[in-house]
Amino acid sequence: MFDGLFQPSHLLIILVVALFIFGPKKLPELGQGLGKGIRSFRDSMRAATEEPEKTETPAAKSTDANSK
């Protein structure tokens, strides 16, 4: 169904249609916003796959002090 959808000629047609819809002044702003959104998504996915660091909670520290 989506075979060959992202060929250079198709992407060029999509770019021209976007240029007509949004205009040349608004298109760079939309591209910048899209780039920031993709970067934010990648960063959050990377943070979700990393192992969380072991941090001691204040309650855990106080129980350790009481046991000594």
- For the chain, the structural domain boundaries read 8-47
Using CA atoms, how far apart are residues 46 and 50, in angstroms rounded to an integer?
6
Using CA atoms, how far apart are residues 45 and 40, in angstroms rounded to an integer?
9
DSSP-derived secondary structure letter, 50: S
How confident is the model over 19-66, as pLDDT tens digits?
Answer: 899 888 898 898 899 999 999 999 998 988 876 666 666 665 556 555
Using CA atoms, how far apart are residues 24 and 65, in angstroms rounded to an integer?
65
pLDDT band for position 68 (50/70/90)? low
Single-letter code of the amino acid located at 31:
G
- Cα angle: 61, vertex 54, 47; to 5 degrees: 140
What pLDDT is recorded for position 54? 62
